[in-house]
Amino acid sequence: MKILKYLFLASLLAACAAKADVTITDAWVRANAPGQKVGAAYMTLTSPQDSTLVFAETTTAGTVEIHSMSMDDGVMKMRMLEELPLKAGKPEKLAPGGFHLMLFDLKKPLIAGEKVTFRLCFKDKANKITDQTITLPIKEAN
């Protein structure tokens, strides 16, 4: 199952060529405590056409997953999403308490004031894959 997913991602990556026209605002990475092995990144994604976030990667983490967060019986639960749909012109917010990009297997600590560069891949209605590289500041959550 896992291997299949990696093969799928590898083919996506190879296909990621043209630049995506998605606007990315309010993007930041949460600074974390020393020794923490995971991290989270937040941003608002606005696409002029229906699109889907299908993949994210950074050299700072071994893997990046798209997560949702919700309250379930008073307990915060995170769930991994295969993809995140974006409606044309509607800002989709990734913010604390909701959607986020989860960073696993961190290669270095996330220190406020430093930056993390991500590559995001989007798929449009015609299944065309585009990508965008964005550098996010690391900030303390407030």
Q: Give the interface with Cu ion as residue ranges (CB under 5 A).
A: 67, 78, 102
CB 78 to Cu ion: min, Å? 4
Q: Which is nearer to Cu ion, 42 or 122 (CB)?
A: 42
Number of residues written out for the chain? 142
- Dihedral pair phi/psi, residue 74, rounded to 5°: 80, 5
Q: Which is nearer to Cu ion, 85 or 98 (CB)?
A: 98
CB 61 to Cu ion: min, Å? 12
CB 29 to Cu ion: min, Å? 13
Q: Which is nearer to Cu ion, 23 or 63 (CB)?
A: 63
What CA–CA distance (Å, rounded) separates 21 from 51? 10
Contact 14, 131 (CB under 8 A): no
What CA–CA distance (Å, rounded) separates 25 from 42? 9
Q: Which is nearer to Cu ion, 89 or 98 (CB)?
A: 98
CB 68 to Cu ion: min, Å? 8
- Dihedral pair phi/psi, residue 65, rounded to 5°: -115, 150
